[in-house]
Amino acid sequence: MSLPNLKISQLRALVAVAQHQNFSQAALDLNVSQSGISHAIASLEEELGVQLLHRGRHGAKLTAVGEQIVKHAETIFSSISDIVSTAQHAKGLDGGSVCIATFRSLATNIIPEILVQFRAQFPNIKVSIAEYEEATELEQALHQGSADISLSDLLNPQDFDCFELLRDEYIVLLPPNTVIPEKVEKLTWKELASFPLILPNSQSCSKHINPYIQDKEIPLEVAYRIRGDSTIISLVKQGLGAAILPRLAAEPIPDSICAYHLPIPLERVIHVAMRKHAMHTPATYAFLETLRDFKH
């Protein structure tokens, strides 16, 4: 069975006439002459061997078969649009750039693994990493457009388009030579209260830890609130107290320090976030797909 020699211009003319029920309006819509529209429809009817329109003084209406063919034509145009989008997407992925805003702990322990996967598929896209200390700085970078994507524990996730990437457990780091019964993985409140606490004072950690340690039956003493993760670990190594930190922020944990679970589990949720209603580049969407497939 040989296929008819149909032309896209003929189908466009038919759809335009069907929408306007008028040859002159269809001609204006497609920026062609009315005679051009008439010729396109007539040649299409001749090619198919069926009548597509009822013509009259009050305009043009589709026949029953014409209605069916218009539906097929609209499907064809949708597929053509998909073809163009695919080509444009491919052109955008042959280069371009994407900027990721995140915390140091994620930049150190998570992003390198993600970049290996991403570069294997998109070697020509440039990825830059911007490290921030506070969640508000990350959110501001997104709002201002200086970052395309953030990986962080958001203070206001409802302000962004986001999805969960992973969950990071808070752990307790105990000073060297601390005596804890063997095979114990989780501390009791009494054991935790026996140490001066060294806590991070970042916004994202404080929003989790402060409510967690308040109003406990056994009072917990906070000796230090420190910004830098490495400084916190150094204080623990010197025997100045026990620290509560997200596991990713604590890693790599020195051999002399023991890590334990908290009496009641506590974790932070790391989100992938973008600006809402923004026009993102193909490179940004490609990185998003890599993040969606990531398993930690």
pLDDT digit string, tens, across residues 173-219: 999 988 877 667 889 999 999 999 999 998 888 889 999 988 777 88
The pLDDT value recorded for residue 2 is: 57
Average pLDDT over every residue of 211-228: 88
Is the pLDDT at 170 greater than 80? The verdict is: yes
Is the pLDDT at 92 greater than 70? The verdict is: no
Is the pLDDT at 1 greater than 60? The verdict is: no
What band does 5 get if pLDDT is binned at 50, 70 and 90? confident
What band does 42 get if pLDDT is binned at 50, 70 and 90? very high
The pLDDT value recorded for residue 141 is: 92
Average pLDDT over every residue of 218-225: 91
The pLDDT value recorded for residue 98 is: 94
High-pLDDT (> 90) share of the chain, %:
61
The pLDDT value recorded for residue 282 is: 86
Is the pLDDT at 93 greater than 70? The verdict is: no
The pLDDT value recorded for residue 121 is: 86
Greater pLDDT, 92 or 270: 270
Distance CA 62, CA 247 (A): 67
Average pLDDT over every residue of 216-245: 92
Average model confidence (pLDDT) across the chain: 89
Q: Please spell the DSSP secondary structure of 124-154, one letter per residue.
A: TSEEEEEE-SSHHHHHHHHHHTS-SEEEE--
What band does 56 get if pLDDT is binned at 50, 70 and 90? confident
CB neighbourhood size of 249 (10 A): 25
Residue among 158, 160, 125, 129 nearest 142 (CA):
160
The pLDDT value recorded for residue 88 is: 62
Distance CA 222, CA 199 (A): 7
Distance CA 115, CA 151 (A): 13
Average pLDDT over every residue of 96-121: 93
Instruction: Decide if 237 contacts 255 (C-beta within 8 A).
Output: no
- Residue 281 CB contacts under 8 Å (≥ 6 apart), including other chains: 92, 96, 97, 98, 148
Tokens 């009050």 appear where?
Answer: 58
Q: Does residue 156 sit in helix, strand or coil?
A: coil
The pLDDT value recorded for residue 178 is: 86
The pLDDT value recorded for residue 82 is: 82
Average pLDDT over every residue of 273-295: 89
H-helix or E-strand containing 200? strand 197-200
Greater pLDDT, 156 or 161: 161
pLDDT tens per residue across span 235-261: 999 999 999 999 999 999 999 999 999
